[in-house]
Homo-oligomer: A and B are copies of this chain.
Amino acid sequence: MSSPVFPAWKWFIEFTHPTQAHMHGVKRYVYSGKTQFQDIEIIDTYFFGRCLVLDGKIQSAQFDEYIYHEALIHPAMIIHPHPREILVIGGGEGAVLREIIKHPQVEKLVMVDIDQEVVELCQRYLPEWSNGAFEDPKVDVHFMDAREYLENTDYRWDIIFIDITEPLDDNPSYRLFTKEFYQLVVQKLKKNGVTALQAGNLNTAFFECHGAVYNTLKLVFKNVESYGAFIPSYDTNWGFIIASNEYSALGVYPAKIDTEIARRNINDLRFYDSQSHTNMFALTKDVRDRRSKEKRIIEDDKPLFTY
C-alpha cells in the first residue's frame, strides 16, 4: 500500500443507508462517466487499490475481487461434473470469464451484458480482472438485454451465472431479479443445469434482497442454497445463491472439492477450496432465522429495489 496523504482530501463515500456510510480515501479518480445505463467510476483508493464503482457502489476492488469472483464461480463449476457450456449474464469486468476458463471442460462461454461501454472501460482500466479472457476463442460476448437474449435463444446451458448490479430504481437490472426471469433461466438450462448468482447483502439489517431472491428461486428450482463470503471492500458478508434441480452444494463432501480442483489442474485459486466451501455454505443461525422470516416474492409487477 503506497503511503497515503493524510488527511486525504479526495474521498469516495458509499452510503448504504441514510445514516451509514463507508469512507474511502482516494489516491486518484481515474475515470468518471455515464454510460447509457449507469454511472461508472474507476478509482484508485489507498486501501483497496483500483475499484470499479457503478451507480455509487463498489463492484469490485483490486484488493479482494478474487474473493467475490471465486465465490461466485467455483462452487457451481465444481458441483457440476461436466460444465461445458456456460452462460454469463452481466459480469462486465470479465473476472468471471477469467475464473470460468480455468476449468478445462469449458467448451463454450457466452457473456451477455447490456452495457458495452462498461465492458470496454473495464478492459482498458482493469485489464487484470479479465486477464485476457475476452480474447479466448471459447468466449463470445453479446451486448444486449439478457432477458431478451434468453427469450430469443433455444440454446440450453450447463450453467448460467448471473452477475448483475443490485436492483436500483434507475437501472435496468431489476428485471433480472423476478420470478418470471428465473422461470426463463430454468428453461434455458439443461435438465441437470445449475445457476449461481450474486444475491445481496447477508447483513441481517439489509437482508430483504437476499431473502426475497431466495424465496423467489424456491418457486422455480428444487435445490436453492444460500452462501456467503466476507468481502472487505464491501464491508460485509455478501450473499450468493446456487440453484439447481439436480445438484447440491450442501451435499458435497468437502474433501471431494479439493480432489476435483486438483483433478482439473486448477492451481491458482486464492480463496476457494474445501474449507472455504464449508465456511460459505454453513450459514449462521441468525442469518437462517432472518431468511426464514422473509416472505417476499419478487415478480415483474412487484419488483424489488434496494437503497
Contacts and interface: CB of A to CB of B under 8 A. Distances in A.
A232 to B, nearest CB: 5
Contact of A15 (B1, B7, B228): B7
A39 B9 CA distance: 11
A237 to B, nearest CB: 4
A226 B280 CA distance: 16
A124 interface: no
A154 to B, nearest CB: 39
Contacts of A203: 230, 232
Contacts of A286: 66-67, 270-271
Contacts of A289: 270
A271 B287 CA distance: 8
A279 B275 contact: no
A53 B18 CA distance: 21
Interface string A36-69: 0001010001110000010010000001001100
A67 B288 CA distance: 14
A278 B278 contact: yes
A59 to B, nearest CB: 13
A230 B232 contact: no
A229 interface: yes
A17 B283 CA distance: 30
A5 B56 contact: yes
Contacts of A266: none
Closest 6 CB pairs of A and B: A19-B25, A29-B29, A279-B282, A9-B56, A278-B282, A19-B46
Interface of A: 1, 4-15, 17-25, 28-29, 32, 39, 41, 45-47, 53, 56, 63, 66-67, 202-205, 228-230, 232, 235-237, 269-273, 275-276, 278-280, 282-286, 288-289
